[in-house]
């Protein structure tokens, strides 16, 4: 049995965020003490770790809800799990592809920009010059943040 504060520290998720996750249904309502305070058990910590990792990876709350539904029904026909996994796999691959391009651009920026002045620095040129842009100029940041 741990308090919300302890869960917060252990999982690396802020207290109000935990309550927020409960509010939107990502975290279940835990037991309460006589005095109405939340008390969590190990399963809560696991689930919260799951959520946090998935968020770090850029999954939207909705995507996480899907993933969690896999966990909730371990005997469900694999067909459903397969669909959910496949949907997310496409996202993951798209993310990786974009992040690799991003990595290349950032590497370029960092290596070219050693000790010079801003006028000589390639960051600005790289960012301003459309021709230097190696990405597809689709809707990269939308899918990165996955808020659409």
Q: ∠ CA 2-49-79 to the nearest 5 degrees?
A: 125
Pick the closest to residue 83 from 95, 66, 68 (CA basis).
66
- The nearer residue to a copy of itself, 35 or 77, going by C-beta atoms, is 77
String marking each residue 99-118 x if it binds a copy of itself according to CB under 8 A: xx-xx-xxx-xx--xxxxxx
Under 8 Å between Cβ of 13 and 48: yes
Residue of the chain from 45, 50, 55, 84 that contacts DNA (CB under 7 A): 55
Residue of the chain from 10, 16, 93, 136 that contacts DNA (CB under 7 A): 16
Residue of the chain from 20, 31, 43, 106 that contacts DNA (CB under 7 A): 20
Q: Does 34 contact DNA by CB under 7 A?
A: yes
Q: Does 10 contact DNA by CB under 7 A?
A: no
Q: Does 113 contact DNA by CB under 7 A?
A: no
Dist. CA 9–CA 138, nearest whole Å: 39
Q: Does 142 contact DNA by CB under 7 A?
A: yes
Dist. CA 128–CA 54, nearest whole Å: 33
Query: What are the φ and ψ backbone dihedral angles of 19, each rounded to 5 degrees?
Result: -65, -35
- The nearer residue to a copy of itself, 4 or 51, going by C-beta atoms, is 51
């Amino acid at each position: 049995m741990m308090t919300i504060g302890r869960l917060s520290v252990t999982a690396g998720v802020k207290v109000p965020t935990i309550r927020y996750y409960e509010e939107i249904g990502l975290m279940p309502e835990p037991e309460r003490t006589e005095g109405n305070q939340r008390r969590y058990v190990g399963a809560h910590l696991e689930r919260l770790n799951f959520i946090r990792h998935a968020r770090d990876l850029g999954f939207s709350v909705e995507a996480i809800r899907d993933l969690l539904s896999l966990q909730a029904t371990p005997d469900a026909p694999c067909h459903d799990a397969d669909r959910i996994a496949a949907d997310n796999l496409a996202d993951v691959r798209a993310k990786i592809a974009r992040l690799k391009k991003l990595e290349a651009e950032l590497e370029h920026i960092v290596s070219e920009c050693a000790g010079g002045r801003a006028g000589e620095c390639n960051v600005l040129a790289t960012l301003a010059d459309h021709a230097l842009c190696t990405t597809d100029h689709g809707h990269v940041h939308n899918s990165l943040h996955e808020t659409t």
